[in-house]
């Protein structure tokens, strides 16, 4: 069996940081070694020479767990940066038009390939994505993940109203297609399936019942949907489901909340909704670049955390404006500034790695540099651009370096990416 040792400054989180001085929440090795065998991490510690291993020296860069993106739409890769006012206009003008193209297998395959290249370029080694309503878009998504040996979560969007006919399925076909796709892709390679009713507006009660049945029949799968992103969306949802107490209540009534349920946005929630999310263990997913771009609102991390709600962070491509978690953390910091809340750099990098792994109940598999975990790793350079190098010359602490990385860094800071122990960024075509 071949053994590889990555040498560099190793940083990995152990628990959620309780502030800038919480040095017990992470492990940092100034001259560290990550030993990899068969795609997995087998040892982590201070570097010592080993004649039986291939040694790759990444000093002076940082080695971190690969970033995890909790919510994005691979089928929106070609509508990022589309000029729209707010959510519903953006969906109708660009999104629902664009997603129709995924009825073509060739198109889906080509976009999936470019999408994964972009994830790797930005240091994202695991993501949770929506495909289109076409089953073949899901085939393209998971086939590409399998080819690259990546741990990816995703699913076919279920939507049977308030969208163009060409994009709509039916309650029955969405059930049948989802069932077949779970059988084909869940647990194949590193793929994991997410039952994906798009949101209350595009699902009839009959389709919500179909989703409820799927969730009950497949507790091994994730569930993903959108919740309380925009005021007009909330009003329309309540018109469509007048018997539910609030937006969260719609999903609650159909039994689709729970510890594997990922709720994109979750911005405008009342106290009852917050309590229900906490009680069910559902995950609120913070999508800062999207929320600012579409003017949706300011995620209230402090209130949700106080209520005990699990939280993840995500890009939400293509409502979001950048594939990278670094840019996303920067915008997240600014959203919370506007809320009067502070996000320490340790908390930022925790969220993008171990925090998101925990939100996916995948601690012990990804999100940390620890024996037994997959060797999904990134190498980050805090002096990747002249402006970063200029600032880095004055940096004296790890916290300052992380904050510089999230504030000034982007894909150029991601020096290398390892997926299950194999180099993935330097081997990308066209670089």
Question: Which stretches of the chain bind Zn ion, using CB under 5 A?
Answer: 264, 316
The contact set with ligand GUN (CB under 6 A) reads 73, 87, 91, 95, 198-199, 226, 229, 290, 316, 319
In the complex, minimum distance from the CB of residue 264 to Zn ion, in angstroms, rounded to a whole number: 5
Minimum CB separation of residue 226 from Zn ion in Å reads 6
198 binds, among Zn ion, ligand GUN, none (CB under 5 to 8 A by kind): ligand GUN
**Closest approach of Cβ 95 to ligand GUN, in Å?**
5
Nearer to ligand GUN, 32 or 288 (CB): 288
**Residue from 345, 343, 407, 405 nearest 378 by CA:** 405
Quick one: what does residue 301 bind among Zn ion, ligand GUN, none, with the CB cut-off 5 to 8 Å set by partner type? none
Residue placing its CB nearer to Zn ion in the complex, 80 or 382:
80
Contacts of 345 (CB under 8 A, 6+ apart): 20, 399, 400, 402, 403, 406
DSSP code per residue over 173-218 = HHHHHHHHHHHHHTTSTT-EEEEEE--GGG--HHHHHHHHHHHHH-
**Pairing mode, strands 124-130 and 151-155:** parallel
Q: Min. distance of Cβ 73 from Zn ion in angstroms?
A: 6
Q: Are 302 and 339 in contact (CB under 8 A)?
A: yes
Q: Least distance in Å: CB of 70 to Zn ion?
A: 10
290 binds, among Zn ion, ligand GUN, none (CB under 5 to 8 A by kind): ligand GUN
Packed helices 105-121 and 135-148: angle between N→C axes, nearest 10 degrees? 40
The C-alpha angle 324, 290, 321, rounded to 5 degrees, equals: 45
Query: Of 287 and 380, which has the nearer Cβ to Zn ion?
Result: 287
Partner touching 190 among Zn ion, ligand GUN, none, CB below 5 to 8 Å by kind: none
Nearest residue to Zn ion by CB is 264
Nearer to ligand GUN, 203 or 348 (CB): 203
Minimal distance, residue 296 CB to ligand GUN, in Å: 8
Answer whether 132's CB lies under 8 Å from 167's CB. yes
Residue closer to Zn ion by CB (options 90, 142) is 90
Helix, strand, or coil (residue 86) = coil
- Take residue 317 and report the two structure tokens written for it: 């491509």
- How far apart are the C-alpha atoms of 301 and 99, rounded to whole Å? 31
């Amino acid at each position: 069996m071949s053994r590889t040792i990555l040498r560099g400054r190793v940083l990995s989180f152990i628990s959620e940081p309780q502030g800038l001085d919480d040095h017990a929440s992470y492990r940092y090795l100034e001259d560290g070694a990550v030993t990899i065998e068969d795609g997995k991490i087998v040892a982590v510690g201070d570097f010592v020479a080993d004649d039986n291993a291939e040694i790759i020296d990444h000093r002076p860069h940082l080695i971190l767990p690969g970033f995890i993106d909790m919510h994005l739409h691979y089928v929106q890769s070609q509508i990022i940066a589309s000029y729209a006012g707010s959510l519903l206009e953006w969906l109708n003008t660009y999104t629902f038009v664009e997603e129709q193209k995924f009825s073509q297998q060739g198109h889906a395959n080509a976009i999936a390939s470019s999408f994964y290249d972009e994830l790797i370029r930005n240091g994202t080694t695991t993501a949770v994505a929506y495909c289109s309503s076409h089953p073949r878009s899901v085939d393209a998504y998971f086939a590409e993940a399998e080819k690259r040996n990546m741990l990816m979560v995703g699913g076919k969007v279920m939507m049977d109203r308030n969208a163009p006919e060409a994009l709509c399925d039916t309650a029955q076909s969405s059930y049948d297609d989802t069932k077949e796709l779970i059988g084909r892709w869940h647990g194949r390679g590193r793929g994991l399936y997410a039952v994906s009713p798009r949101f209350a507006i595009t699902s009839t009660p009959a389709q919500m019942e179909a989703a409820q049945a799927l969730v009950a029949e497949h507790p091994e799968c994730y569930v993903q949907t959108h919740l309380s992103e925009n005021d007009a969306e909330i009003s329309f949802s309540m018109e469509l489901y007048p018997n539910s107490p609030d937006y969260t209540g719609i999903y609650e009534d159909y039994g689709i909340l729970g510890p594997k349920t990922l709720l994109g946005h979750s911005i405008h929630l009342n106290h009852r909704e917050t309590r229900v999310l906490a009680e069910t263990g559902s995950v609120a997913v913070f999508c800062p670049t999207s929320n600012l771009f579409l003017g949706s609102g300011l995620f209230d991390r402090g209130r949700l955390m106080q209520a005990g709600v699990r939280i993840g962070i995500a890009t939400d491509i293509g409502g979001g404006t950048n594939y990278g978690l670094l840019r996303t953390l920067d915008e997240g910091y600014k959203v919370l500034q506007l809320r009067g809340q502070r996000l320490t750099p340790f908390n930022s990098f925790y969220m993008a790695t171990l925090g998101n792994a925990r939100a996916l109940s995948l601690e012990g598999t990804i999100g940390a540099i620890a024996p037994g975990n997959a060797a999904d790793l990134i190498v980050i350079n805090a002096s990747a651009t002249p402006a970063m190098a200029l600032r880095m010359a004055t940096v004296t602490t790890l916290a300052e370096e992380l904050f510089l990385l999230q504030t000034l860094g982007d894909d150029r800071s991601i020096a290398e990416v390892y997926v299950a122990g194999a180099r993935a960024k330097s081997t990308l075509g066209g670089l």
